[in-house]
Amino acid sequence: MYKFITSLVFITNFLCSFSASSQWYETQGHARTNNTNVEIARTKAMENALKKALLVSGASVSSVQQVVNGLLTQDQISIRASGSVNSIELVDEVHSDNLITVTIRADIFPQEKKCFAVNFKKSLLITRSQLLQREQANIGEIYLIDKAVMGKLAIQLNQQSTFTKTSSILNNKTEFSRLNNSLASDEISQLTQSLSDSTNSQYVMFSEITNVSFDKQATNSWLFWQQGVYPRNFAITFYLYNGLNGELVWQQGYQNTAPWTFTKRIKVDVDGNAFWQSEYGVMIENIIDKVIKDIDENIMCEPSRGKIIKVAGNQVTINIGRDHGLKIGDEFSLLHLNHFTDNSGKSYAGFNLSPYKVKVTKLSRQTATAITPDGRLFGNIQVEDLAVRY
């Protein structure tokens, strides 16, 4: 076992006070060793684990600059986290194929006021991407990259994300790109809510692959150009929507370039190991890692919402359960659905905060039963209303 003392500088978004005692958090981090040495991979894995520990401790800082006695080199990590890290221990390190997994234990002075929503996982639906310029996929015949990338993202989210429980619809494309191109925001909102309702998802993610073209001109940095290996672009934009009201929560574009090491006439299997272990595939996986971090940052402190699917006396059943991190005794506030229409005729999802609070008494993997602690009967609470933990 190795022990590393950290020295961290926090650039905070606001003044905050810290409790007098620290707390230990044990987390795992992962990194691939493809085309890199073990030391660099170990560093990335430890950074990944430390980010998780900071996020779980609850906080809200825009960036962290860290130095860990030369092992974790100076780096800037854009995460929402705050707290003072006193030390970290490398508890375990496992090498399997091209993956290194480290377990660390971090001693963190947490924020006095925590983000309680981090205790629960938010359900996220991943939809198939849209390849906007299909002709760019001709070389390699990588037309199914729109499905493969989102499938990889869904798998990685379930393995790495601390704050999401992911499901996916990948066999069929949605109408998102057509609606997005037409700036049809109302129709996108309706599509989002429909998908959310049918899959019990709190969030719905759409995406568009905007560029898989080859660079037309070689640069001095691409010395392999003369060997018949060409730089190929990859650009993708993600759109994260709140399934409850169809509102856009987060939008971000990502792009990079890597050598395309396959010959021009070969058909490349975008689901195969050869593709994902190539320099181009590794570059896309690095983008996916950034996306996972950004998703966690943007929804970690969002309220955890469950729809009420049954009301009986002073008891409600909601559509989130043990798989989402709920425990017996968790308390929720209830919101009564109250849609309204503005003067132009546009409809909005509105909610009234109910005076009722409920406590979870029974759990299954996907549902929870909760009752009013004082035995009060519900008034206007009904199916489709919400149970919310802030």
Domain of 95 in residue numbering reads as 2-114
Residue 212 has pLDDT above 60, yes or no: yes
Whether residue 135 sits in one domain with residue 77:
no
Q: Which residue has the higher pLDDT, 138 or 3?
A: 138
pLDDT at 256: 96
Whether residue 276 sits in one domain with residue 129:
yes
Whether residue 335 sits in one domain with residue 254:
no
Whether residue 316 sits in one domain with residue 283:
no
CATH number, domain of 80, equals 3.30.1660.40
How sure is the predictor about 271, in pLDDT bands with cuts at 50, 70 and 90?
very high
CATH number, domain of 173, equals 3.40.50.10610
Overall domain count for the chain: 3
The residue among 114, 146, 164 that closes a domain is 114
Q: Strand 351-363 relative to strand 7-12: parallel, antiparallel, unpaired?
A: unpaired
Give percent of the chain with pLDDT exceeding 90. Answer: 38
Whether residue 123 sits in one domain with residue 106:
no
Q: Which residue has the higher pLDDT, 24 or 250?
A: 250
Whether residue 308 sits in one domain with residue 256:
no
Residue type, position 82, single letter: S
pLDDT at 13: 28
The residue among 114, 136, 164 that closes a domain is 114
Residue 19 has pLDDT above 70, yes or no: no
Q: Strand 61-68 relative to strand 248-260: parallel, antiparallel, unpaired?
A: unpaired
Q: Answer yes or no: are the C-beta atoms of 94 and 36 closer than 8 Å.
A: no
Q: Answer yes or no: are the C-beta atoms of 41 and 31 closer than 8 Å.
A: yes
Cα–Cα distance, 112 to 16 (Å, whole number): 8
Whether residue 72 sits in one domain with residue 169:
no
Whether residue 234 sits in one domain with residue 157:
yes
Q: Answer yes or no: are the C-beta atoms of 356 and 376 closer than 8 Å.
A: yes
Model pLDDT for residues 277-291, shown as the tens digit of each residue: 999 999 999 999 999
Whether residue 240 sits in one domain with residue 134:
yes
Whether residue 179 sits in one domain with residue 157:
yes
CATH number, domain of 345, equals 2.40.10.410
Q: Answer yes or no: are the C-beta atoms of 109 and 19 closer than 8 Å.
A: yes
How sure is the predictor about 235, in pLDDT bands with cuts at 50, 70 and 90?
very high
Which tokens go with 325?
């991190």
Model pLDDT for residues 139-163, shown as the tens digit of each residue: 999 999 999 999 999 999 988 887 8
Which tokens go with 49?
């684990």
Model pLDDT for residues 51-60, shown as the tens digit of each residue: 776 665 543 3
Cα–Cα distance, 354 to 333 (Å, whole number): 7
Model pLDDT for residues 70-126, shown as the tens digit of each residue: 334 433 333 334 445 666 778 889 988 888 998 887 776 655 445 555 567 889 999
pLDDT at 135: 96
Q: What is the pTM of this model?
A: 0.66
Whether residue 175 sits in one domain with residue 322:
no
Question: How large is the average pLDDT for residues 23-51?
Answer: 78
Mean pLDDT of the chain: 79
